[in-house]
């Protein structure tokens, strides 16, 4: 818990790159907060700076201006307080599922015998029981991303930070993973910051949606999604949120 109740704070972030035709303003004046236990989606068109922002929040890249705080501490390098899941699987091909999930624990102070138990529990949590000894090449895309989620959760991070984690799997698998992620969120009570360009995905998952616009990359509006779960695409209320967020992305006035 923090004094302000804001778990993650993105404060006046700017990021400029040198382009051949002058500076690229990938991010300009980006500010928002995420409360403890909240599920926030960051949504916006391709090129609006989502991955850039994700990398800055993760401490993988520095900002041109502004700060990111986790529990009121400034983030300036990768920290085990964040579990990070990338769009591409980023698994170690030479390690088994168990070995991949255990990776994060190897530098931690979790004792040896406790580690095995914890790894097995995480593998069960993401629905991969029976696959602990398999290698990544033996798994489907969806299964690989489950391993990446289990690995990110291994060190019990304060924040689960994900960049289009289901972008590379087929539609049916994606829906299954979305439902499973919501179950995991409910069970672990983690704070989640989830990047996607998919409006439907954002409306299905988020408590709040930070809608971004591009050129320069910026926050257009933050939308509270006040709808019970599970959420069904065919519900009228779902449709209203969907149209509203899509309209914001297209640059229409708020409806």
Least Å from the CB of residue 27 to Mg ion: 12
Nearest distance from residue 51's CB to Mg ion, in Å? 3
Q: Which does 228 bind (CB under 5 to 8 A by kind): ligand ADP, Mg ion, none?
A: none
Measured between alpha carbons, how far is 174 from 140 in angstroms, rounded to an integer? 12
Which among 40-48, 112-120, 176-184, 222-230 is the span making contact with ligand ADP, rule CB under 6 A?
Answer: 40-48
Rounded Cα–Cα distance for residues 161 and 253 (Å): 30
Q: Is 99 a residue that touches ligand ADP (CB under 6 A)? A: no
Query: From the list 8, 10, 14, 26, which residue makes contact with ligand ADP (rule: CB under 6 A)?
Result: 26
Which range touches ligand ADP (CB under 6 A), out of 45-53, 98-106, 123-131, 239-247? 45-53
Selected binder of ligand ADP within 51, 71, 134, 188 (CB under 6 A): 51
Could you say whether residue 46 binds ligand ADP (CB under 6 A)?
yes
Q: In what order do the strands lie in the sheet with 82-85?
A: 82-85, 159-163, 191-196, 39-43, 208-213, 218-224
Compute the least distance from the CB of residue 52 to ligand ADP, in Å: 3
Q: Smallest gap, in angstroms, from Cβ of residue 211 to ligand ADP?
A: 12
**Stretch near Mg ion under the rule CB under 5 A, chosen from 51-59, 65-73, 134-142, 218-226:** 51-59
Q: How many CA atoms lie less than 13 Å away from 205 in the CB half-sphere?
A: 36
Cβ at position 251, least distance to ligand ADP in Å: 16
Binding window for ligand ADP (CB under 6 A); candidates: 3-11, 49-57, 89-97, 110-118: 49-57
Q: Give the integer Cα–Cα distance in Å for 176 and 233.
A: 14
List C-alpha distances in Å: 9 to 14, 23, 33, 54, 212: 14, 26, 4, 13, 16
Please say whether the beta carbons of 173 and 142 come within 8 A. yes
Task: Give kind and range of the element (H or E) at residue 227.
Answer: none
Bridge partners (DSSP) listed for residue 70: 8, 73
- Chain-centroid distance of CA 83 in Å reads 9
- Candidates 4, 12, 17, 73; binder of ligand ADP (CB under 6 A) is 17
Residue 51 found at the interface with Mg ion (CB under 5 A): yes
Q: Closer to ligand ADP at the Cβ: 51 or 79?
A: 51
Tokens 């499973």 correspond to what residue? 180
Contacts with 128 (C-beta within 8 Å, 6 or more apart), sequence order? 97, 143, 146, 147, 150
Residues that bind Mg ion (CB under 5 A): 50-51
Residues that bind ligand ADP (CB under 6 A): 17, 24, 26, 44, 46-52, 217
């Amino acid at each position: 818990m923090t004094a302000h109740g804001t778990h993650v704070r993105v404060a006046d972030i700017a990021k400029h790159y040198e382009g051949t035709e002058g500076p690229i303003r990938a991010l300009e004046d980006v500010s928002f907060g995420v409360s403890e236990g909240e599920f926030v989606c960051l949504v916006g068109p391709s090129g609006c700076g989502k991955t850039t922002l994700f990398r800055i929040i993760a401490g993988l890249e520095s900002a041109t201006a502004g700060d990111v705080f986790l529990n009121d501490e400034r983030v300036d390098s990768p920290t085990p307080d964040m579990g990070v899941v990338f769009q591409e699987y980023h698994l170690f091909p030479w390690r088994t599922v168990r070995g991949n999930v255990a990776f994060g624990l190897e530098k931690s102070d979790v004792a040896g015998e406790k580690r095995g138990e914890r790894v097995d529990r995480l593998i069960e949590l993401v629905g991969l029981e029976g696959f602990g000894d398999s290698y990544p090449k033996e798994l489907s895309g969806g299964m690989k991303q489950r391993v990446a989620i289990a690995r990110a959760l291994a060190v019990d991070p304060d924040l689960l930070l994900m960049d289009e984690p289901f972008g590379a799997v087929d539609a049916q698998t994606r829906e299954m993973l979305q439902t499973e992620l919501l179950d995991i969120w409910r069970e672990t009570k983690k704070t989640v910051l989830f990047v996607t360009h998919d409006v439907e995905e954002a409306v299905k998952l988020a408590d709040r949606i930070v809608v971004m616009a591009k050129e320069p990359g910026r926050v257009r509006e933050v939308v509270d999604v006040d709808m019970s779960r599970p959420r069904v695409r065919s519900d009228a209320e779902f449709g209203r949120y969907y149209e509203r967020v899509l309209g914001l992305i297209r640059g229409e006035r708020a409806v």
